[in-house]
Chains A and B, each alone.
Chain A
Amino acid sequence: MSAFFDAMGRVPPLLAQHVLLAGAALLLGMTISLPLAVWSARRPGVARVALGAASLVQTVPGLALLALFYPLLLWLSGLVGGGIPALGFLPALLALTLYAVLPILRNGVAGLGGIDPAVREAADAVGMTAAQKLRLIEAPLALPVVVAGIRTAAVWTIGAATLSTTVGQPSLGDMIFAGLQTQAWALVLAGCVAAAGLALAVDALIGLIERGLTRRRRGLWVTGVALLVAGLALATAPLWRHGGERTVVVGAKNFSEQYILARLIGDRLEKAGYLVEYRDGLGSAVVFGALSSGSVDVYVDYAGTIWTAEIKRTDTPPRAEMVAAIGDWAKRTRGVGLVGALGFENAYAFAMKSDRAAALGVTSLDDLVGRAPDLVLGSDLEFLDRPEWAAVRRAYPLRFARTAPYSPTFMYRALESGAADVISAFSSDGRIAADRLTVLSDPRGAIPGYDAILLVSPKRAADARFTAALRPLVGRIPVEVMREANYRVDRDTRKQTPEAAARWLAAKVGLK
């Protein structure tokens, strides 16, 4: 139970971001959909197109809608010569705004369309102008229905805002995604309770306003509006004080090692006098972009990932050469600074249960080629689309009976239960040792080196105090220590939080 209360402690700053994002999206959604509803109510053709488009948007899953804005904004930014952030608040705001439009638009059209034609005729006949008719008659009569639409939109937006974590905008989703990844159920629960509580509270308050308007009871809706405004002010209070230049953002992808390293980095930066914020659970594809654009100040990536996904190289030079080449490329093309390699590698590693590998006589990827047609490959969510998998297949003609993507935690479960025979594991994963898995060797050298490297944004690359605070991490972390730290977070019993594991790691390698 105390884990849950600890987790609740993380709620206020994330709640503030969550409320700000959902509130801004709702307001923007209203400014778009209300005039559109008035226009649609006057022109059936406009109504068909607008409602059709809004309904179409609604059929796109929230996660996909958010993800689509990344390339779109990137392209737009390229078009106008840069300056449009493709990650963080903007894409999240735009996607959620689109989500908010439909219910408000639909109710607006229904509310205006539901007005008695005799009332409209009377409004014309007493000599109202179109503007007077809208203000005095149509708007007040449609208002309760419109508010009901706003209420629906608010609940949807608050729910969907949890997904904005994936494009680098902090929200209560940070807790849910991080908790899911590290199986810290208290964290997931706290995130869900906070998001659901927010949605319920907003739903109840807008419901109160709606009831007050429908029954023409001024006291009721004024109370509702006052409580809503007070609640919003209270919830966003943590955002009011701001560290300005001294606030830095530490990014992390969506697995335990990244959470631990982010805390390790964050702790050092705090000791150096910075105010630290974390962006957890960033997609592998978006995080480098976030660093280049400065919405993330520092994170740990892996040499092979940058090599194949960002530089688009297919050769595999020795590890040290690759790291040096990445440092040059990042500086030259993006202004991104490479502080150095941390000392361990987290490569993709094909792993099998030892007894199964022994029974099939498989010790290398070469051995696997003949057996693959009878086996199921379990992978993480992105592996099958990554260039590394393409490189492996160029070197080894692997044809599996079936492939199944899992979130990393469940991938190990799938291997354990026999649902998958081979998995795309990570060489620094503590579960390899703990589960006594057999890691298949790569005799043809198809998998590139995956040295963990510390990257900093263009602005921070020029900040001497910042890089000085991070330099002690370079070459400091052996793979055995990283594995154990990871295992402390991933194991099923006596789990530690990434913060605790980061402190353990710092002590273990002798960092003050």
Chain B
Amino acid sequence: MPAQSLVFDGVTKRFGGTAVVDDVSVAIEGGSLVALVGTSGSGKSTLLKTINRLVEPDAGRVLIDGSDVAEGPAPLLRRGIGYVFQGIGLFPHLTVAENVAIGARIAGRDADVAALLDLVALPRAMADRYPSALSGGQQQRVGIARALAPKPGVLLLDEAFGALDPVTRDTLGQEIRALHERLGLTTILVTHDMAEALLLATRVLVMQAGRIVGDASPRDLANGGGGEAAQSLMAVPRHQAERLRALEHGG
């Protein structure tokens, strides 16, 4: 099965009169790993949530493989879309195995919990533990396994690594990229960290005040492309890289 494509068509969402997402239209090819980058309040999370209808847009449509997500009941749609977010949201009264299998359970199917734990590099012995006994990184791995359990075509990551330490964050990022390729997913990654976007994504969309103001490949961005807003976000990792290089050369 070819990876699923994704289209935003004039998507708009207002909260109390202000347009948080303002008439966004963009097409995303099946199989791409797209980073949505922007400062806090730029509307990137809200745009992401219009895909699985955690946010219903006031205007416009979102299409997955050409069909409007607004058709049919939202729970059914969500069962085909993986969603991982900063809050993790593991169910504290369920074991790791029950958390991972929850998507299959509500759809009336079985899940291969052992294989899913292998997929996110968690020891199978953890299956019977409760989330409170796990570290933050381990919890987010369970979160990823839970999102991948129903074999989704689209994976949404909303600041999924934001609360983790830098080492765990980097490792998980690399693993997600590998999973993305192995499972043939279409992945959208929301982050405010331009460096993370550059190193993981195949395409970077820059958001500002509810609009997409930059759209470029990581290579273009590194070479000064993608527009003014994108380059202002590029300033931080670029400056950090220069200072690191200076340190290497003895200051």
A residues touching B (Cβ–Cβ < 8 Å)?
A: 116-129, 132, 136-137, 140-141, 216
B85 touches A121 (CB 8 A): yes
B93 touches A140 (CB 8 A): yes
Q: Give the nearest-CB partner of A115 in chain B.
A: B92
User: A337 → chain B, closest Cβ, in Å?
Assistant: 63
Hey, which chain B residues are within 8 Å of A141, CB to CB?
92-93
Q: CA–CA, A103 to B91, complex, Å?
A: 26
A118 touches B93 (CB 8 A): no
Contact with A along B146-181 (1 / 0, CB 8 A): 100010000000000000000000000000000000
Please pick, from A116, A125, A129, A136, the residue contacting B52 in the complex, using a CB distance under 8 A.
A125
B residues touching A (Cβ–Cβ < 8 Å)?
A: 52, 54, 73-79, 83, 85, 87-93, 102-103, 106-107, 130, 143, 146, 150
Please pick, from A122, A124, A127, the residue contacting B91 in the complex, using a CB distance under 8 A.
A122
Please pick, from B79, B87, B92, the residue contacting A126 in the complex, using a CB distance under 8 A.
B79
Q: Give the nearest-CB partner of A130 in chain B.
A: B75
What 5 pairs between A and B have smallest CB-CB spacing? A118-B87, A122-B89, A127-B79, A127-B78, A118-B89
B88 touches A123 (CB 8 A): no
Hey, which chain B residues are within 8 Å of A128, CB to CB?
75, 106
Hey, which chain B residues are within 8 Å of A122, CB to CB?
83, 85, 87-91, 143, 146
A119 touches B106 (CB 8 A): no
Given A126-B78, A126-B106, A136-B91, 10 further pairs, Cβ under 8 A: A118-B89, A119-B90, A121-B87, A123-B89, A125-B52, A125-B89, A126-B103, A127-B107, A129-B75, A141-B92
B91 touches A137 (CB 8 A): yes
Hey, which chain B residues are within 8 Å of A129, CB to CB?
73, 75, 106
Please pick, from A116, A120, A126, the residue contacting B102 in the complex, using a CB distance under 8 A.
A126
Q: Give the nearest-CB partner of A213 in chain B.
A: B93
A125 touches B54 (CB 8 A): yes
Q: CA–CA, A129 to B73, complex, Å?
A: 9
Hey, which chain B residues are within 8 Å of A119, CB to CB?
89-92
Q: CA–CA, A216 to B93, complex, Å?
A: 8
Q: CA–CA, A132 to B102, complex, Å?
A: 11
Hey, which chain A residues are within 8 Å of B76, CB to CB?
127
Please pick, from A116, A127, A137, the residue contacting B75 in the complex, using a CB distance under 8 A.
A127
What are 27 inter-chain pairs, A to B, with CB distance below 8 A? A117-B87, A118-B89, A119-B89, A119-B92, A121-B54, A122-B90, A122-B91, A122-B143, A125-B52, A125-B54, A125-B78, A125-B85, A125-B89, A126-B78, A127-B75, A127-B77, A127-B78, A127-B103, A127-B107, A128-B106, A129-B75, A136-B102, A136-B106, A137-B91, A141-B92, A141-B93, A216-B130
Hey, which chain A residues are within 8 Å of B102, CB to CB?
126, 136
Q: CA–CA, A135 to B83, complex, Å?
A: 22
User: B139 → chain A, closest Cβ, in Å?
Assistant: 11
User: A266 → chain B, closest Cβ, in Å?
Assistant: 56
Q: CA–CA, A9 to B143, complex, Å?
A: 62
User: B159 → chain A, closest Cβ, in Å?
Assistant: 12
Q: Most chain-A Cβ atoms within 10 A of its Cβ — which of B74, B93, B146? A: B93
Q: CA–CA, A137 to B93, complex, Å?
A: 8
B93 touches A124 (CB 8 A): no
A116 touches B89 (CB 8 A): yes
Hey, which chain A residues are within 8 Å of B93, CB to CB?
140-141, 216
User: A473 → chain B, closest Cβ, in Å?
Assistant: 67
User: A121 → chain B, closest Cβ, in Å?
Assistant: 6
Q: CA–CA, A121 to B143, complex, Å?
A: 12
Q: CA–CA, A126 to B90, complex, Å?
A: 11
Q: CA–CA, A117 to B88, complex, Å?
A: 11
Hey, which chain B residues are within 8 Å of A121, CB to CB?
54, 85, 87, 89
User: A365 → chain B, closest Cβ, in Å?
Assistant: 75
Q: Give the nearest-CB partner of A129 in chain B.
A: B75
B91 touches A123 (CB 8 A): yes
Hey, which chain B residues are within 8 Å of A132, CB to CB?
75, 106
